[in-house]
A and B are shown apart, each in its own frame.
Chain A
């Protein structure tokens, strides 16, 4: 990135006492902190869900097919992300960039489906105020959607650099984040859609 000229890369960044590159190590710690954020939210949800038997009836109104399709989309985009990483390790920047853009496309499809899904639900009266189940539903899927959006933006930037063969190691880093977002959805899907 352009601002890289403004700061010289310190020696510290180039050291690797653990053998794990610094960027990747930091991504793991980011994910560790994300696990507890989603973990706290979902633990609260599970407790209240088990406490309120009538939430099952509310959950029956979520759209399994939309959620299922989105699971498929995210899994596929994860595949693209990891293929991009493989291309980046083979020093093939343009190929990596193509895969990353496909991943962004997957994220976009996910959000579009989500937008239609939410619109439909809100139109049928299943708003955030209807029941605490729906409050959790919109909060959890919304927080996840925010992560998808942030991931797409960063993916796009990384893809732009990768296309010129720059910062290829970042392909792996954003990939790891994207797989994490995928893994979170793997749990959100049964929690909010399947279990009823």
Chain B
């Protein structure tokens, strides 16, 4: 856009040691690949998805500099994720469990039986 934009007030925070962050990310990555080798589903769950959350948070905090950004940017992004949880919670009973499609109107069934008996 402009060269003036850089003149907007911004703090030059010291950069973290990116190589160290990278090293941690790589070891976490190794854990996530190695985890399933044991074949235990709960371990896979933790190493695959737990580690993914940690990795993504680290990328966001250090590489995207969210740890030195205004706090409400976190909130904006987390609220968006929160809405996805709402979506999941509202849709899962129909698409994941589909228990909603197997319900019966017991009263109607009863009535139908009653009518058949008489």
Q: Which residues of A contact B (CB under 8 A)?
A: 4, 9, 13-14, 16, 18-23, 28-29, 31-32, 35-36, 39-40, 43-44, 46-48, 50-51, 64, 68, 71-72, 75-76, 78-79, 81-83, 86, 89, 167-169, 172, 175-176, 179-180, 182-183, 186-187, 189-190, 194-196
Contact = CB atoms under 8 A, between A and B. Distances in A.
Contacts of A68: 29, 33
A9 B80 contact: no
Contact of A35 (B7, B65, B80, B98): B80
Contacts of B64: 175-176, 179-180
Nearest to B12: A89
B15 interface: yes
Which applies to chain A's interface (DSSP): helix, strand, loop or mixed? helix
A82 B6 CA distance: 18
B84 A190 contact: no
Closest 5 CB pairs of A and B: A39-B84, A190-B48, A16-B8, A9-B2, A47-B96
A116 to B, nearest CB: 19
Given A13-B2, A75-B22, A28 B76 contact: yes
B70 A18 contact: yes
Contact of B48 (A44, A47, A195): A195
Interface in B32-83: 32-33, 35-36, 44-45, 48-49, 51-52, 55-56, 59-60, 62-65, 69-70, 73, 76-77, 80-81, 83
Contacts of A43: 84, 87-88, 91
Contacts of B25: 75
B56 A196 contact: no
A52 to B, nearest CB: 10
Contact of B52 (A51, A64, A83, A190): A190
Nearest to B88: A43
Contacts of B55: 183, 186
Interface of B: 1-10, 12, 15, 18-19, 22, 25-26, 29, 32-33, 35-36, 44-45, 48-49, 51-52, 55-56, 59-60, 62-65, 69-70, 73, 76-77, 80-81, 83-84, 87-88, 91-92, 95-98
A75 B26 contact: yes
A36 B84 contact: yes
A44 B95 contact: yes
B33 A82 contact: no
Contacts of A64: 33
Nearest to B73: A28
Which has the most chain A C-beta neighbours within 10 Å: B29, B33, B69?
Answer: B33
A28 B64 CA distance: 10
B85 to A, nearest CB: 9
